[in-house]
Amino acid sequence: MRAELSTGQRVARARRRLGWDQAQLAAAVERSVSWVSKVETGRLPLDRMSVVGQLAEALDIEVIELTGQPYRHESSELDSGHAAIPGLRLALQQATMPGGALLLGGIEPPSLAEISVRVEAAERLRQDAKFTALGDVLPQILRDLIVACDVADGDDLARAESLMLRASHMARVSSNLLGHHDLGWSAVQRELVAAERAESPALRAAARWDLCGVWLYEGEVAAARDMALRALDDLEPDLSTADESIRSLWGAMHLRAAVAWSRLWDRSEAESHLAEARRIAANLPADGNVFQTQFNAVNAEIHSVEVSLELGHPRDVLSRSEVVDVMHIASGERQSHFWVCTAAGQMMNGKAEAAAESVLRADSVAPQHVRNRPVARNLVDDLRSANRNARTEEIRRLAGHMKLS
């Protein structure tokens, strides 16, 4: 199996293309030449998306050129859902094209009640990052909703568009996590249309929350921050209502803002938004998952770990991770994300064996999520060359599955 270029090798390639030496790149990112050398040779892993984004901006390239996404494999067993992308791409093209329903030959869609049941089942696959299984059902759900949205009117139109937003969100998450970021953008465009057609403040906020997600994946951190702040301004007048969805989306948007500010290395702003999200979550259901945001108290604490990681405070990562009751969030993707962030913090603290335990735990929970995450792949690559420990052989096998060896 052919090994992919490492992230460090991609940094070096982009640097050379500009005609820069390591000193010029070091000056551009306000680091030492030694730091650049260690990154390019793989002695220093890029374990924070904030740093990856900073390098991409300095080198005037897209983030995916450094991450190397999407990651494809020779066997369908290891391909982690990529085989479904062509079908998903076609369905989203039809969904975002004016008159797209006509392209489907005037089929009779199932009832909205039946589609709703299928959407709920698909959402469970999405939460557990089971992209292969999700890819088997999501394109047909989208096609049925294209026609349903075309023929619906009155209350049924709002219901159909709400289902379309939820299905498009699943397409967005799958596309971004698998590294097909252009497709994620197409999905969120359809969400924004759904929100406008339904004339719903809650759906508009949900679509904007997802738009922030697209921009965070693409490394457009300032755009994500600005959209989160604008959405919060627009939501604030509706907070006085008893609508739990609005309050959940308000909290979820604060978490988006916290992550964006942390990637801009502004600790004060990041912690301020995190504090507001915690305040809101304390008065909402413990299993809250409005519009698949998983906004609840546990997820707020998972975000606190991520924020500390992006800010470069590894001791805070460890102290915060110790109090997260991660088993009480009904999302394999969120649990896996927590363990990867924890592993990165452990590695930064020189705790390689603990980091290996956390990465392997993340992989056991949601392997298709872990094996498509740039930060997780960088961690595994680094752990593979670290001092031997009780989990070394398992880490090496995981590196093989990731096509890192």
- At 1, the pLDDT band (50, 70, 90 cuts) reads very low
- The answer to whether the CB of 332 falls within 8 A of the CB of 367 is no
pLDDT at 71: 82
Element spanning 330, H or E: none
Indicate the angle between helix axes 332-348 and 314-321, nearest 10 degrees: 140
pLDDT at 27: 95
Whole-angstrom CA distances from 38 to 46, 378, 403 are 10, 14, 22
The position carrying tokens 């924004």 is 192
- At 134, the pLDDT band (50, 70, 90 cuts) reads very high
Q: Give me 305's structure tokens.
A: 């770990």
Sign of the C-alpha dihedral computed for residues 11, 17, 23 and 26 taken in this order: negative
Is pLDDT above 60 for 275?
yes
HSE-CB at 255 with a 13 A cutoff on CA atoms is: 28
DSSP letter at 108 equals: -
Q: What is the pLDDT of residues 311-334, one digit of tens each?
A: 999 999 999 999 999 999 999 999
Q: Give me 337's structure tokens.
A: 């994300």
Is pLDDT above 80 for 249?
yes
- The residue among 204, 217, 260 whose CA lies nearest residue 64 is 217
- Give the whole-angstrom CA distance, residue 340 versus residue 363: 9
- The answer to whether the CB of 177 falls within 8 A of the CB of 369 is yes
- Give the whole-angstrom CA distance, residue 53 versus residue 58: 9
- The residue among 95, 29, 93 whose CA lies nearest residue 56 is 29
Q: What is the pLDDT of residues 359-369, one digit of tens each?
A: 999 999 999 99
- At 239, the pLDDT band (50, 70, 90 cuts) reads confident
Residue type, 42: G
Is pLDDT above 80 for 255?
yes
- At 242, the pLDDT band (50, 70, 90 cuts) reads low
pLDDT at 78: 60
Element spanning 4, H or E: none
Is pLDDT above 80 for 74?
no
- The residue among 145, 174, 165, 4 whose CA lies nearest residue 85 is 174
- Give the whole-angstrom CA distance, residue 282 versus residue 151: 41
pLDDT at 224: 97
Higher pLDDT among residues 266 and 46, named by residue: 266
Q: Give the mean model confidence (pLDDT) for residues 59-85.
A: 79
Considering the chain, what percentage of its residues have pLDDT values greater than 90?
Answer: 71
pLDDT at 77: 59
Q: What is the pLDDT of residues 181-235, one digit of tens each?
A: 889 999 999 999 999 999 999 999 999 999 999 999 989 999 999 999 999 999 9
Is pLDDT above 90 for 101?
no
Higher pLDDT among residues 127 and 79, named by residue: 127
- The residue among 14, 333, 60, 62 whose CA lies nearest residue 182 is 62
Is pLDDT above 80 for 405?
no
